[in-house]
Amino acid sequence: MSSGIAYFFYICTFNFYPKNMTFFDLLIGGLLAYALFKGIQNGLFAELASLVSLVIGIYIAVKFSAIMASLISSIVHWNPYTIKTVAFVLTFIVVVVGIYMLSKFFTGLADFAYLGWINKVGGGVFRVLKAILIISIFLTLFEKINYHNFLAKKETLDKSLFFNPIQKTADFLFPSLEKLYEKAKK
């Protein structure tokens, strides 16, 4: 029986640690492991709030910072450009903090309903997906910079476990987002 367990671990070791792992694989694997850890630690509601608050915060700050600017200009007498900048930043911060508070409320609600583990697993998955998206953007930029293979050889990148699959995520996603944007514009 113990020889069967030893053989199982022997097979798992060689399948899990391929001989052609590159520096990119270690770096990307480390980033994904950290993303998984932080996602589990934060939970799904906090992870969603971090992404949504940026998008909604920028949108609302662009659309409604004029209201905040008029309020600020009635209190202080600064340069109009400074007032617009401060109004934009304050509006953005108010939205981000508001969405953060909502995420904490929903996290507490999920914990109260004994759904905290779903929140944690969902947070881990969402954070890893978000990390894959961000890493794919950086890998696409890296590939553009490395067009003469002076930073990394093409053979090294082709041998990588993570480089090509994650880099292709950006190639797939950005045309899809562009099509969605064009449809929304019409």
73 is a domain residue: yes
Same domain? For 146 and 87 the reply is no
pLDDT tens per residue, range 69-90:
888 888 888 888 888 888 989 9
Greatest mean pLDDT among 9-23, 84-98, 113-127 lies in: 84-98
Domain span holding position 53: 42-114
Which pLDDT value is given to residue 33? 92
Same domain? For 74 and 64 the reply is yes
141 is a domain residue: yes
148 touches 154 (CB < 8 A): no
Q: Which two tokens stand for residue 146?
A: 């490395």
How many domains is the chain partitioned into structurally? 2
Same domain? For 46 and 110 the reply is yes
